[in-house]
Amino acid sequence: MRTDINAQLREKLRQLPREPGCYMMKNSLGKIIYVGKAKSLKTRVAHYFVPAPQLDTKTRVLSQQIYDVEVIITQTPLEALLLERTLIKHHRPQFNVLLRDDKEYPYLRIDFKDTWPRIERVRRRRDDGATYLGPFGSAGQLRLLLDAAYRIFPLIRCSRHEFAHARRPCNYYHMKMCLGQCNIPVDPEVYKSIVQSAVDFIAGRSKEVARLIEEKMAAAATAENFELAAIYRDQLKAFESVTEKQSVVTGDVDDADIFACKQNETRISFHVLTVRDGKLIGGDSFVLNSPVQNEDESLTAFLLQYYDGRSLPGEIIIPRDLEDAEDLRNALLAGHPEAAKLILRVPQRGVRLELVAIALKNAEYRLTEIARLKEKVQVELRMLQEHLGLRRLPQRMECIDISNIQGTAIVASNVCFVDGRPAKEFYRHYVITEVTGSPDDFASINEVVRRRLARAERDGDLPDLLIIDGGKGQLSAASEARAQFPDLDFELISLAKSRIDKRGRRGFIDTSVPERSFERVFFPDREVAQPLAQGTPEFRLLTQIRDEAHRFAITHHRQRRGKLSHASDLEDIPGIGPTLRKTLLTTFGGLDGLKQASLAQLKAIKGLREASAVALFSYFRSSEDDVGSDSEGEPESGSDPASTTK
């Protein structure tokens, strides 16, 4: 055992039991950096404290950061496996295999308790009694599935507000892609059966869907309900035209997920092929930071997280035998009580082995592709460094932008790019608090930069390059804020947009053909701005982060401006407080829906007194008489997003 660990930890390691369980490694700040499982906690944990030369590189890096170890004893290795998944999901340690948070993967939500259920795309799975499909790792694959479902099945596409206020069926009805139940009588149970068929189709149960549609068509024809039979006939034709394009897998592979993984020094790549009803319907790739575990342990951890929220297939095909294969199978079944059986198979020959080879090629390709792209980005970053004369490689760049309209809802955004790619976990919004009255971009930038650098001084998350959206004045305001933090070492520039220049490139004035100047970079210690030629890597990198900051700021500004507008409209009505304002806006789907509400609908709101309901109804009617309809829209803001770092 190593001799450089503290006495308290040494004694804890000596007392560890030889029983199954989970262990959590903590750093000097008490943060959990790794979670593992073991059949014998004492033997397994001791492995991390052997002399450094006996450890591989990743384990050595982990071992050097371990300050404390906490263990949880379980009855069986299976319980340890299930507990490990729960702990990883909760603590998200940096040295484990980590799928992105569930909110980053889309689900499909279908609430059959509704009279007219819809297929809705959502980011979180909730315990609300609705049916959920997913999560879907590929947004593109999900879009293709939804497009196919809408072509086959006459599903409702409009919003609930549009559905409730429709005066006539929309064009989808005339194209036989909707039943038109917004205006035409339709049996809700018939529609729900259609939605269920769409759900089965998206879930990959194509054969069952086709059989059910044929049975319903025959039953409707027998009952001489020829209109309904025609609907099912059209569904069947559309279904056949869509599914015949899918690749057929020969052999007896019917309902299976096929996995392969490939690991290098920095990343591990997983690829999943999905086979349903004997057809290869898609594949997903997941490239994660390389964990401490070997490939077998990583694959086990990945499978447990992958099927946390996904339905199990009848068969999971993996490239090799796993030491804890039976425990893994039982753990997967324990999380899916609806699954009747599960086969965990390692193929030796035939179609299954060929599918594993395909998955492995895709996993290897993704690693190669990412390495190539990373090298390309590193070259572009070096070109940016040389072009701007920066002291260091700008691997972490941040951009700040301000957004406001006539001084209202002033916000700022701070977006972050790492290695030339957006790192959205570091995005921040700022609500400007020190500037009131008329808008002042310079004062706003000064405030945001001060707050950002104060956080950097506290947390040590300083960017290599901080970019201000604007010209020399905005840069001067940022430089004043920077002067208050003399110990922070980073580069500061501003990026000014191109502008129309009526003076031609050859020196003569031609007002008929205005030209645009280059984008320009300003520096605190240089008098002359540095132009950026279009099409160059440095132009692409800087304008991309500037445009992202602008988008992020505008989005937040519109949200805040909308809240202020809603609040100011309702604050004028006596007897309506914050809670009741929120209830009204939620009930009627926003201010527009509230304006269209009848007096009877307003009186039905719990907590709204009759006098207040009458005042609210009269207020909106008098506003329409005075203004007509909505006033002319405000111009688009030219600034950027804001974050809520308060």
| 308 pLDDT higher than 90 | no
- Rounded CA-CA distance 489/477 in Å is 18
- Average pLDDT value for residue range 609-626: 68
For residue 461, the enclosing domain spans 398-484+537-646
- Residues 228, 263: one domain? no
Q: Which of 199-208, 355-364, 599-608 has the highest mean pLDDT?
A: 355-364
- Residues 277, 184: one domain? no
Q: What is the pLDDT of residue 454?
A: 92
Q: Contact at 8 Å (CB) between 587 and 608?
A: no
| 578 pLDDT higher than 50 | yes
Residues of the chain above pLDDT 90, percent: 27
Q: Kindly state whether residue 505 falls inside one of the protein's structural domains.
A: no
- Residues 449, 569: one domain? yes
Question: To the nearest 10°, the Cα dihedral for 572, 578, 584, 585?
Answer: 90
We report the CATH number of the domain holding residue 81 as: 3.40.1440.10
Q: For residue 556, count CB atoms less than 10 angstroms from its CB and return exposed for 0-12, middle for 13-18, buried for 19 or more.
A: buried
- Residues 268, 215: one domain? no
Q: What is the pLDDT of residue 631?
A: 30
- Average pLDDT value for residue range 63-84: 90
- Rounded CA-CA distance 249/354 in Å is 11
- Average per-residue pLDDT in the chain? 81
Q: Kindly state whether residue 250 falls inside one of the protein's structural domains.
A: no
Whole-model pTM: value is: 0.62
We report the CATH number of the domain holding residue 339 as: 3.30.420.10
- Residues 125, 173: one domain? yes
- Rounded CA-CA distance 50/594 in Å is 68
- Cβ atoms within 10 A of the Cβ of 428, count? 21
482-503 pLDDT, tens digit each: 999 999 999 999 998 876 665 5
Q: Kindly state whether residue 620 falls inside one of the protein's structural domains.
A: yes
- Rounded CA-CA distance 137/272 in Å is 10
- Residues 138, 233: one domain? yes
Domain boundary among 32, 62, 91: 91
Q: Kindly state whether residue 324 falls inside one of the protein's structural domains.
A: yes
- Residues 81, 133: one domain? no
Domain boundary among 35, 66, 91: 91
CA distance to 290, 423, 489, 490, 491, per residue, from 392 (Å): 27, 20, 10, 9, 8
- Residues 238, 311: one domain? no
Total tally of structural domains belonging to the chain: 4
Q: Higher confidence at residue 554 or residue 455?
A: 455
Q: What is the pLDDT of residue 643?
A: 38
Which DSSP category does 380 fall into?
A: H
110-119, 216-225, 323-332, 460-469: range with lowest mean pLDDT: 216-225
CA distance to 114, 184, 196, per residue, from 181 (Å): 14, 5, 17
Q: What is the pLDDT of residue 257?
A: 92
- Rounded CA-CA distance 184/104 in Å is 38
Reported confidence tier of residue 242, pLDDT bands at 50, 70, 90:
low
| 561 pLDDT higher than 60 | no
| 274 pLDDT higher than 70 | yes
- Rounded CA-CA distance 378/43 in Å is 42
